[in-house]
Structure 1
Amino acid sequence: MAGDLPNLERVRKIVLRLHQECLGLDLKDAVFKKYPGIVLKHLWHLIRSEGSMNRRKRAQIILISLGFIGLTGISGVAYSVYSLLSKIRAGALNKRPFMRRTRSQIMLDNGARVMYIPYGDDEENKKRVLIGPKDDDRYEHDKYLFKYFAKSNRSQLFYSRFVSQLSILYRILIPKLTDRNAFLLSFQIFFLIMRTWLSLFVARLDGQIVKDIISRNGRKFMLDLMCWFLIAFPASYTNSAIKFLQRKLSLNFRVNLTRYIHDMYLDNRLAFYKVTFDTQAASSVIANIDNSVANDVAKFCDAVCSVFANIAKPVIDLVFFSVYLRDNLGTLGILGIFVNYFVTGFFLKKLMPPLGKLVSKRSSAEGDYYNYHLNLIQNSEEIAFYQGTQVERGKVNVLYNNLMDQMLLVDRVKAKYNAIEDYVLKYTWSALGYVFASIPTVVATFTTGVNNEEVNMREFIVNKRLMLSLADAGSRLMHSIKDISQLTGYTNRIFVLLSVLHRVHAKQFAYGAITDEGDGLDDKPSQRFDDVLRGTVQRNFNGIRVENIDVIIPSKLGREGTKLINKLTFQIPPVIIPETATSDSQVSISQKIVFQGPGSSLLILGPNGCGKSSIQRIIAEIWPIYNKNGLLSIPSPSELFCVPQKPYFIQDGTLRDQLIYPMAGDDFFDQGHKDRELVQILQEVKLEYLLKRDRGWKYLDARADWKDVLSGGERQRVNFARIMFHKPRFAVLDEATNAISADMEDYLFNLLKRYRFNFITISQRPSLIKYHDFSLDINSDESWHLQMLGTDEAITSIEKEIEGLETNLQNVESWEKERSELVKRLAHI
């Protein structure tokens, strides 16, 4: 122990001497407990005093380093405490079981959503995220910004389509000044300024170290080297923070923009379906809208944040470095530097290729290539049956070659421009930087006649470093012009997408017809919305009534488009009872819930292309009513269920999800439903054997590509299971049993009649007449005929159909003879 005392005393003397030499602080009589306060007070005094420049600079470096170290420590402690509390809440520190919600989201009464997002390696860890309610008024207001932006700006003296579009989009990215994205942007600007300020410190310290080396002052060299390592920590922290904030800001922008798009694209106004009717939109956006939503949004957000950082950092550097260099180079020197920048920028702007248009074309080619591969996946079985490999390969090769041509075109154009840009910005500006950095040294030596090598070397090192940094800032600013050109392409695609969605999402959407509600980007003659869609829809009706409706295919021609059926009129049930019982979705199907009164049914018959399915589209309100005296009366959405020709199945959904569609899995449990209801429904539609394929009722949780797992008949029976689960009073079936056997078809239609559903069947088979009360025959000449089955007229029409079948049966013998002769000929070949 006695031998260690001299060593401790030696260390103590070195520490005291270090404080004295570096900061001029005497700590001989200081108490250890008061050491932090004494040092911080002395550092603050040095910064505010006008004493030694070196000590003041060291005090600044030490305070900055201590501040960043303290901030890092506090952040680490706060994150550790947060992680510990999260584990305690999750029950990770005790052995008792912890109940956790397993479903993904909850819809609150005000329209907000609470989502549970899994994170980490453990699937049990879920983060609760609250998403605010959708604001329909905002979308109605914003549509006018997208509609009139071009007209309101083209009359100005300086007009930039890119700036006008970006000025509207930023309201989505940063909705208000108190938004978290505004704070992140402020933090990013703060760290950008901090990095420039630290660069000035590093430049000065670099010159001081060179001076210490030339003057062979080892003590100052060691002190300045220690300051170098201290300033390196906040400088590294700042660079990391800037990159993190840029990425975080990009992700937040993407969240805001994606949600904004989803709220319009996927809502009860069916914009995802109606968007195909918007003939005013750019064809590339409509054809590749999935690529625009999934890829273009991410590229746009990354490009916006990247361009902002690439512009803000050089501008800040130019301002700070110019102010510092002005004392050495003078106003004329700084003015000459900026004149050089502007001349270079003007020169490079003239030589810059149209990267915005090229990038937009490349994105369109990527979308075409991606969509065709998606088409191959969705129709792989049909293509395999047709043996269409050669045709598909040729089509894919054409799209791939087009994509490669667009990508190579962009790279080829960039290569020529980059060669000129690098020569001017890197080498020419660097050489000019050496020239400008040497001006103070040459002028001072020439005027005084004294060559002070240490001072001149220090000044040259500092000026050279700042001049090179200034040249680098200018070159990055010029490079950002190219990034802005690419951002222009992404901005235009996103803006066109949002313009289309706003136009389609609007209540007054005319299905592609040119109206005064158009986007204002063309000079086509327009008409009022009321002159295009003039029909009337009556909701919450106790039946389905179609009165004097012209069935017209939606197009830009409006009511002058192709008419399929003229003045269609029918009603189900034929007599409307004002007070009719409704179904209770909370009651099990096993309790034999039936609707009061007998169910009415209508069979719609007709050849292909006559407009049968179009009637279902009008009833579902996805097609408009053009004629003024047309009236559609429909029940509430919960009382009407439409079954399309092609059964739809949720991708990667459970069997339960398929049976209860369009109800979400969360709502199924939240409304008190049980799996036993689904088991009973499967028994009703003769699909209970599906539960024997695996683990009984747990098979309801099985995930698969159900459209491939189930056969055509099973998929159609799932549609009937959905009807039995939702129990609507009215159902519209479009070719709902064309893949089902005759005995099963008979059972399912009798099932609907047993539970007294009102249903409309669209089919081409007259054999279904026996299950319906009325028949509506659609002809190919826009005419139609409605009759009640069981009347003399209906019996006569059925007898005619039977006579036609009997006539065909009389030809069976002759057809069999022809077949036998063909078989004999084939045997001789």
Structure 2
Amino acid sequence: MRGFNFSVFSRFWAIAKLYWLGSEKKGAFILLGILGLLLIGYTQLSVLLNTAQGDLISTLSAKNETKFWQTVLRFLLILVVYVPLFAGFSYTQSKLGLYWRRWLTENFLNKYFTNRSFYQLAVKNIEIDNPDQRISEDIRSFTQDSLLFLLVVVQSVLQVVAFSAVLWSISQKLVIFLLVYAIVGTLITTGVFGKKLVTLNFGQLQKEANFRFGLVRVRENSESIAFYQGEIQEKNNLNNLFTDLFNNFNSLIIWQELYLGLFINTFEFLPYVIPAIVVAPSVLSGELEVGKVSEATGAFARVFFSLNIIVSRFQSLTTFAAGINRLSTFHQFLSPEEKGDLLTKVNPENRTIDTIENGQLAIEHLTLQTPNYQNTLIENVSLNLPQGKGLLIMGTSGCGKSSLLRAIAGLWNSGTGAIFRPELNQMLFLPQRPYMIIGTLREQLIYPSLEKEITETELENILNLVNLPNLADKFGGFKVEKDWGEVLSLGEQQRVAFARILINQPRYAILDEATSALDAKNEENLYKHLLETNTTFISVGHRESLRTYHQLLLQISDNKSWQISTINDSP
């Protein structure tokens, strides 16, 4: 599967056509057309320059001063056109690659966030590692390298056509030898080195991403690691990741630099001397001018390296093929038809929970399982939550309390039964550790709204309600950007999350131990404001004090059983 074969080209086209057959295809083909014209002009000028170089040597050998200076002038005039043409070609190529990367990145990001694919990738246990690296690095490499290889192939074809005519006029034997030599070298390279190098490059991309992700995890969890004094374990883990990276790269350089390098250097050395050997008898006999040796050598080299494109660029081609494989599997997962096949492997019996949006919150005969369908958490639960009431979910750790909230949110659909709920934009979920965005304090408070119309005075009043009266002044106002997950304590973060409820005013609030870091007084204050807004809410928690603020209790047991009761009837 990972070998260098025709399947790579099918995967390449599956990704490439997103751009070339997409909404920006007109602009893409215009830029590609400009590149084609520049390439034709550049190739023709290369032929003229090669001929001029041969003429320079011939005029010097003939000691023809007048013709020599005419040839120098012709050479300089060609160069005046050649240099800006080459610069324009490079600029247009980079510009097209940049636009292509932008569109392809936007396409992947749209699919990544559609239907919460980013979350499904994390919980469905699908073997697609490091999606961040695939979006950032693999797309960059794909757009730059694929365009480069495309233009190199086109350029090679043009140069073969242009310089073969020159070479044929000098020696037909050179052309025949060249074709046979290039074909044999290509077959040896792809057959002996292809599959091995693609596999090693694929593994290297994966191991580099794993090592980088391990470093990011240490940075993001530095405080927890420090509290646990887990430095030695984390260092050993990173050392192990780097050892895997090191060993794979060691194998890669042995195959790539040593074995392949020996073959390529030997293979590409001989063409430098062959033209002189073949043409020498004709020059020595006087049939050809001395400059024809230089002209034949230049033309032979151009044709040879054009035909030899796979051998000469095989190292970068194998890396490129490995990147295509990684990007292709990611694209398959993000495509609805392909994703369905992948998820069917996880859920062969196609058991899913029905989610029905009808403006109320109720559960009917719900049996909830883990995303991989390995464990059943709750069986045959049914309940109805009236508008303006509060439901408290309690039970031992691991019995499925938070998982039930994930099912209500539509994050988990593993199991059977039905969940009735309002539209998600009428609900706000508060996890135990709130998500703190990188942005201003204002953006933090109105999240997940994009542009909530609310004055700073109103924001200050809401901060007072959640017992954070000096938060804005402490950090310099509502427009200051901070890493709020680092500068705020967990208790402050939980109060900021409650402020979001008061600002966004959802009809339903889902609280997963959302007051676990608060004292009893702050907890009472927050729930009091929640009750005053007539918000319907569900809370998960262990504290007995939470019973005070709820009207219904769902008690879940370890044996998958459950019991629903009013708070007054609960034990």
Mapped to 2, the partners of 1:359 and 1:173 lie a distance apart of: 26
Q: Does 1:569 align with 2:412?
A: no
Please tell me the residue identity of whatever aligns with 1:784: W
The aligned counterpart of 1:428 is 270
Is 1:229 matched with 2:109?
no
Residues in 1 aligned to 2:484 and 2:44: alpha-carbon distance in whole angstroms? 61
1:418 aligns with 2:264: no
1:738 aligns with 2:516: yes
Q: What are the within-5 Å matches in structure 2 for residues 619-634 of structure 1?
A: 619-624=408-413, 626-627=415-416, 630-634=417-421
Task: Give the superposition deviation at 1:734.
Answer: 0.8
- How far did 1:659 drift? 0.6
2:170 aligned with 1:389 = no
2:328 aligned residue (483, 489, 495): 495
Kindly indicate whether residue 541 of structure 2 is the aligned counterpart of residue 763 of structure 1: yes
CA distance in 1, matches of 2:256, 2:193: 9
Q: Secondary structure at the match of 1:631?
A: strand
The one-letter amino acid paired with 1:635 is P
Question: Partner of 2:428 in structure 1?
Answer: 641
Matched residue, 2:10: 164
Q: CA RMSD in A?
A: 2.4
Q: In structure 2, what is the equivalent of residue 464 of structure 1?
A: 297
Please tell me whether residue 688 in structure 1 is matched to residue 469 in structure 2: yes
How far is the alpha carbon of 1:245 from its aligned partner? 2.8
* Paired residue secondary structure (1:786): strand
Does the 8 A contact of 1:433 with 1:471 survive in 2?
no
**1:739-780 C-alpha deviation (Å, 9 max, x unpaired):** 111111111111111221111111112221111111111111
Q: Are the counterparts in 1 of residues 433 and 490 from structure 2 also a CA contact under 8 Å?
A: no
In the other structure, the counterpart of 1:352 is 193
Residue matched to 1:340 = 181
- Partner in structure 1 of residue 111 of structure 2: 264
State the distance in 1 between where 2:493 and 2:485 align. 7
Partners of 1:437 and 1:482 lie apart in 2 by 33
Offset of residue 625 of structure 1: 5.4
Q: 2:485 aligns with which of 707, 714, 718?
A: 707
1:775 corresponds to? 553
Contact 1:195–1:239 (Cα < 8 Å) also in 2:
yes
- The DSSP-based 3-state class of the residue aligned with 2:509 is strand
Conserved? CA contact 2:275–2:293, under 8 Å: no
> 1:201 pairs with 48, 56, 66, which one?
48
Quote the offset at 1:309 in angstroms.
3.3
Pick which of 250-259 and 711-720 moved more: 250-259
Distance change >3 Å, CA 439–CA 727, structure 1 → 2:
farther
Residue 562 (structure 1) shift: 1.4
**For the residues of structure 1 that align with 2:391 and 2:508, how far apart are their CA atoms?**
11
> 1:650 corresponds to which letter in structure 2?
I
Rounded Cα–Cα distance in structure 2 between residues aligned with 1:458 and 1:431: 15
**TM-score under structure 2 length normalisation:** 0.93
AA aligned opposite 1:500 = F
Distance 1:350 1:365 in 2: 26
Candidates 536, 550, 554, aligned match of 2:354: 536
Q: Deviations over 1:338-376 (max 9, x none)?
A: 122212222333432521111110011111101111110
Give the 3 Å change call, closer, same or farther, for CA 786–514 of structure 1 in structure 2.
Answer: closer
Cα 1:761–1:307 change in 2 (3 A) is same
Residue deviations 1:298-346 (CA, integer Å, cap 9, x gap): 122222123223333233212211122222323x542232122212222
| Identity in percent | 24
Rounded to whole Å, the distance in 1 between the matches of 2:131 and 2:550 is: 42
CA contact 2:207–2:244 (8 Å) conserved in 1: yes
Q: CA deviation at 1:504?
A: 8.8
Letter in 2 for 1:562: N
Change (3 A) 1:611 1:205: same
Q: Distance in 1 between matches of 2:403 and 2:189?
A: 57
Partner of 1:607: 396
1:486 matched to which residue of 2? 319
Does the 8 Å CA contact 1:275/1:504 hold for their aligned counterparts? Answer: no
SS in 2 for 1:700: coil
Superposed displacement of residue 243, structure 1: 2.4
Q: Distance in 1 between matches of 2:28 and 2:313?
A: 22
Question: Does the CA contact (< 8 Å) of 1:602 and 1:759 recur in 2?
Answer: yes
Give the direction of change, closer, same or farther, for the CA distance of 1:440–1:216 in structure 2 (3 Å limit): closer
Deviations 1:177-207 (A, max 9, x none): 9432222223223222222211211122122
**Alpha carbons of structure 1 residues 686 and 761: separation in structure 2 relative to 1, 3 Å:** same
Unaligned runs of 5+ in 1: 1-149, 151-158, 446-450, 516-525, 577-598, 798-829
| Partners of 2:155 and 2:292 in 1: CA distance | 25
**449, 455, 460: which is aligned to 1:674?**
455
Moved over 4 A (4+): 503-506, 508-515
Q: Structure 1 residue aligned with 2:96, among 249, 257, 272?
A: 249
Give the Å deviation of 1:694.
4.5
Q: One-letter code of the match for 2:378?
A: I
Distance 1:362 1:198 in 2: 41
Superposed, 1:80-229 pairs within 5 Å as 160-175=6-21, 178-229=25-76
Structure 2 vs 1, CA of residues 438 and 687 (structure 1 numbering), >3 Å: closer, same or farther? same
CA deviations over 1:647-682 (Å, ceiling 9, x no partner):
10013x111111111112xx23xxx43333222211
SS of match in other structure, 2:290: helix
1:377 to 2:219 alignment? yes
**Structure 2 counterparts to residues 53-64 of structure 1, below 5 A:** none
Amino acid at match of 2:37: F
Provide, for residues 538-592 of structure 1, a one-character-per-residue CA deviation record: whole Å limited to 9, x for no partner: 2131x2111111121121x4xxx4111111111111xx6xxxxxxxxxxxxxxxx
Alignment pair present for 1:324 and 2:204: no
Quote the Cα distance in structure 2 between the aligned partners of 1:235 and 1:385: 64
**Structure 1 stretch displaced more, 399-408 or 389-398:** 399-408
Q: CA-to-partner distance for each residue in 1:464-504, whole Å, 9 max, x for gaps?
A: 32223333434445213443222211110000111122259
Change (3 A) 1:678 1:540: farther
* Structure 2 counterpart SS, 1:402: helix
Q: Which residue identity is paired with 2:136? A: A
Aligned partner of residue 478 in structure 2, secondary structure = helix
Would the aligned equivalents of 1:545 and 1:572 in 2 still touch at CA under 8 Å?
yes
Provide the residue aligned with 1:550 in structure 2.
367
Distance in 2 of aligned mates of 1:190 and 1:731: 61
Contact 1:554/1:624 (8 A) holds in 2: yes
Contact 1:352 1:482 in 2 (8 A): no
Q: Partners of 2:491 and 2:346 in 1: how far apart?
A: 43
Higher RCO, 1 or 2 (CA under 8 Å, sep at least 6)?
2
Quick one: distance in 2 between partners of 1:505 and 1:422? 43
- Tell me, yes or no, if the aligned pair for 1:311 and 1:480 is still in contact at 8 Å: no
Change (3 A) 1:483 1:663: same
Residues 70-99 of structure 1: CA distance to partner in whole angstroms, max 9, x if unpaired?
xxxxxxxxxxxxxxxxxxxxxxxxxxxxxx
Deviation per CA, 1:399-420: give whole Å up to 9, x if none. 1122122222212211221122
Q: Which runs of 5+ in 2 are unaligned?
A: none
Cα gap change, 1:505/1:204 in structure 2, threshold over 3 Å: closer, same or farther?
A: closer
